[in-house]
Chain A
Amino acid sequence: MNKFSQFLVALAAGLSVFVAAWFFIHAGHRGSVPAHAEVSPAVAAATVKPGGAPVDSAKCILPTDYMRAHHMQVLDKWRKDSVRKGNRTFVNPEGAHFDKSLNTCLGCHGSNPMFCFMCHEYANVKPTCWNCHLSPMEVSQ
């Protein structure tokens, strides 16, 4: 093999590396939404302003069975929505409106200070909610 063909081989290798890198870098970008395309925050701010989100804590937001199994996912989503996106209003399938806040839950469940702890103790789970949030054990809601 002469010098020139060696050069061509190396050039081809470099090109293929570049093409691979190109596709690697741009692989995840197709179809993803650019960050600034979300228009909701401005709208949310306008709707959130006076009076705040309606709170209807007379009954549970979703059926007891569902909440028993999925309250952690619900709370996690609420946290993201209310803290980071400003979307504070939860509408359940019956059309009732709730404020996406731990206080919505504690509005009723706070009446039993042991409500959260009994089950967490039994299931031996240690959520970190009460490191910061004040539980009904510490402050009457």
Chain B
Amino acid sequence: MRRLLALAVGTATGLFGVSARASDFDERGVLLPDAKAVAFVDFEGDSFDLDTDYVEPPESPGDCKRGSTLVPSPTALSGGQVLHVDLTKFGCADRFRFRGVPAKKASYRATVWLRHGAVDAQLTALYSKESGLTTRYAKLAPTGRATSDGWVELASNELPVDGESLESLYLKVYDFDSVGSELDALELVPSGDYVEEAACSGAFDPVCGDEGFCRYGRCVLGRLHVPPLPHPDVRGQVVDRMRGLFELFFGARKTRTRDLPRALERLESLRSATSAWAFWNGFALAVRELHDWHTRSRGDVQFAGGGGRLNACFIAGVADVTALYWPRDPMYDDVLVSHVGKTASGLAQGDRLVAIDGQHPVAWALGLKAIDWGFWQACDDRVFAEAIERLRELIPAYARTITYFACDAASGACEETPRTVEVATLVSDEGYLTCDNRPAYYLTSGNPGSDHDVGYKFYEGAVAGTAEGEKIRALIWDTLYGSGEPNGYVNSSLKKAYAAFKANARGVILDHRAGNGGTLDGAETATTLMRGPGTALVFRSPIDFARDDGPATEAEGLAIFNAWKSATPYSVGSSSHDPALPVAVLLHRDGSASDFFPYGIKGASPKVRIFGAGPTAGAFSTYYTLDPPGSLAFQLASGDSIGADGSPLLGHGVEPDEVVLQRQSDLVAGRDTMVQRAVDWLRTELKP
């Protein structure tokens, strides 16, 4: 009987990690530190000194001040004092070291109890540069244990620590609000086995095992970046809740009928997960299975391993110079280097990336779904602009080799044989380069900088290479975040530019090729230059009726449109628009409000023409951001938009009036194919 019991306990511990909990409580609710703990800090007496146990930040924003104080508390979990954490500046944190960590290789789990508010907490093992070891940390998150007097247990998963080479092992913490939080009963307990940090190559290198993956040439232990496996008593409830959120609130006609079932299947598999990584990465993968532009899991794990990005940006295009040497993929566009910054590892504008680890770059990027927490996909199945935009960060993190055709701007020629280089030899970015799908700028003055950081700014001016009398002007911008403020920065900037166009331009380019969306009013304002008033669609987002799959027929869609066209319209155009002014709208990677904007002008006038590499993302909804306690968050798209014809729109991007793919020959020569084509069209339509 005794043997059976021991076996049962051992199995439970192995299966559920969290069962190896640290402190416990007696029948009165008095905390009992774990006898195996190598450190127990109750923030009083000899266990802690606020000054000498404080660790200076290894990297600091500069003006951080310690925000923790010791506060007497008769309801302390241990003793009569707690640590009150109240950092005043975001980005700052306090760090307190563990004393007496054994000088040996071991693995530890940290727990601490939190009361009031919320904190971000992590256990960090800091090594000196001379040690050659990578500083590693494990995030703390609630285990589910809570006390009647307000304490909540936070715990990390097991962190391997080389005590011989350790500079410091400490708790890093910051609070969320201006009032602060209390911590007590910090504990460090040996748990698990020491795991050497292994070198690896390629995202799925088997050397990293099932509990991790390869990033930047080092195995990442997944568990360090996710919460503990939920306590077995409530694990089913957590999965039920995840399932409820998906089923009740997620999505629209397309994503609910096609993608949701696969995600729910993935969620069900979590019930039998046996590790924290399997559980939480499984959840994040279920989120990604929802196949939606807004729907993303976000977590500390997406930054694991540090590293940087290539100092080069990629864009979908047509490789007209090298087509003879490497055939075009039947499914995906060619991938070209759009522009580069300094130290681009030999890559140059116009180069053609043909393979990553032997696969087409898009196919390779999509294949990372199982471990890439930054995975980003359009709702429209035909669109891959998001994946291409992210290649510069994915390649150094996950690839072994890239294969590309090198081109030379001086001669205008490209090599006939592709080069294959080891990713490990490439240099990641120095400085900051943004990928905005604009190979070059073309205003006569006032262009964005060489970092391509258009972001939340607006750039307006005359188009270079056009005659003064043609009065062809352009606006370069990517944000539609009007925030419901008609006179706010975004709406005012658009109105000001449009007023100038109506007064002084004969043709206009609206260059919105990294359309990040924003709010509905921003999209509405963007349509006021070129069309009369109308209701383009109604937005029923977030979702109206729980579990609703949206209109199955045109009649159902029309009924929704008619019912809501007064209450929640997307009101486009203006009676003061300029019907004689030709407007060329340039798109490339656009979603959400940046879907609404082109949808609102599509076909509105022969004087408006949309140029794009393909459809927009088709992300016709808003979303919920959900922040569970711990080191992850996720966004869940919710609802749909219904067009005036009764169509549910999500998943169906706006088709350009003219498909224009960037030509490799233009890139090598430093030309922007789409701008060239837009100018050509405007010249045929100039306002008298």
> Are chains A and B native binding partners rather than an unrelated pairing?
no
